[in-house]
Amino acid sequence: MKALHENISLVARRLALYLPYPHFMCVAPLDAVLRILWRAQGQIPPAYWPRLVLLLLLSGISTVASLPERVIVGVWLRLRPPRMERENAPVFVLGYFRSGTTFLQNLLAADPSLRSPSWPQVLAPQTFVLGWALLRYLFVPLLPLTRLDAVVPVGARLPAEDDFALNNMGGMSVLTGRAILPRRQAFFNRFHDLDALSADEFSRWRSHQLAFVQKLALVTGRRRLLLKSPSHTARVRYLLELFPGAKFVHISRSPEVVFRSNLLLARELQRAFALQPPLPEDEQEEIIAHEYLATEMHYLADRAQIPAADFAEVRLQDLTADPVGEMKRIYGELGLPFSRGCEERMLQVAATFGKQARNRHPDLTERQKARVARLAPLAAAFGHAPARASGTLDVDSQQRIG
């Protein structure tokens, strides 16, 4: 009987990978979903079809709900785009996945003068102004069921990553390859640093990034937008061109810890949302190590282009040890006002993050240690201790993006 129970449990765990439940693209319109599916090149195995069918059905509903807004707001933005002056240009949180960007974003979002996009806004970028009055009755109850909370804190009012918006507008994000079509990562990873895009692809990314920010500006008024996506770390030079006067806050973490945590993140994303089998572990590890190093090297090369009054840097270990002190320093370097209300709200955010359970990770293999050794320039550049030779590390507050 015990053996039978164990076998049933094993089968259930394996089937759970493919059971249909709301995908994070379920509120994206069909044209955006089909644009991504076209890039799968027919490589979606039957085991993933139930997940795909539910995605297409819910996306069909979203298409109908979003159509009026796409027409009306699209015309409005074309005729009367919101003015974005230097004094209210966005604040960007920089740092590779799992470097502490989520914590930093939540601290900054506690400032009432800043406004981050919420999860409904990034997951339904075509629908959150007018169509949301209808779609929220479908979407909000489904939000906890998307399994996004396995990798990131999710809630209707919590700050979110704008790269999800670019993904759900048509696959202009590294998330498409990392989370949905892992066998096509080589294609979608080009949207990370943008350097290898064609002229048409870059123009499309630029217009969508700008359109999303302008649309957010319609509902935020004169408040500065606060945007966070790890890919922004690799594209600072393009953001400076698109948003003159933008401010940047970069956060770093021990490279070994970041590497370990990204191995878990890739597995969790693909387990929850992929429509293809994952890549072999060795190949996925190489993608992470290469992309992480290249991302931060892009940032270090672009940093000289940012005016001194428009950027600040912080280490996660310092931010967790003294969140208010570090935030006051960051605000001072950026020339932003820091109010008493900011301090109280930030302390509440820090207390909430401090209560979350931490995960322990297994020892690195020799192959993984060799990859971590390649990240030594990042430890030196940002003032982190060298990687440990062995032992498990208590590294994660949760399996979350950022």
pLDDT at 280 (0 to 100):
94
| Nearest one of 263, 56, 44 to 151, comparing CA atoms | 263
**Collapsed DSSP state (helix, strand, coil) of residue 261:** helix
- Listed by start position, the domains of the chain span 15-389
CATH superfamily entry for domain 15-389: P-loop containing nucleotide triphosphate hydrolases (3.40.50.300)
DSSP state of 182: G
* pTM recorded for the entire structure: 0.87
The closest of 343, 274, 268, 317 to 23, measured between CA atoms, is 274
- Report long-range pairs for 296-304 (Cβ below 8 Å, ≥24 apart): 296/96, 296/233, 296/252, 296/378, 296/381, 296/382, 297/377, 298/193, 298/233, 298/234, 298/235, 298/236, 299/94, 299/233, 299/234, 299/236, 299/250, 300/381, 302/236, 302/237, 302/240, 303/236, 303/250
Kindly state the greatest CA–CA separation across the chain: 70
Beta-sheet pairing, 359-360 with 394-396: antiparallel
Q: Which two tokens stand for residue 90?
A: 């966005």
Q: Are 29 and 66 in contact (CB under 8 A)?
A: yes
**Per-residue confidence of the chain (402 residues) as pLDDT tens digits?**
445 545 544 544 454 455 566 788 988 899 999 999 999 988 999 999 988 998 999 899 888 878 877 777 777 777 777 777 777 899 999 999 999 999 999 999 999 999 999 888 898 888 876 655 565 666 655 555 556 666 666 666 789 999 999 999 988 999 999 999 999 999 999 999 999 999 999 999 999 999 899 888 888 777 899 999 999 999 999 999 999 999 999 999 999 999 999 999 998 889 889 999 999 999 999 999 999 999 999 999 999 999 999 999 999 999 999 999 999 999 999 999 988 888 889 998 888 886 665 656 677 889 999 999 999 999 999 999 765 544 433 334 444 445
Three-state DSSP at 332 gives: helix
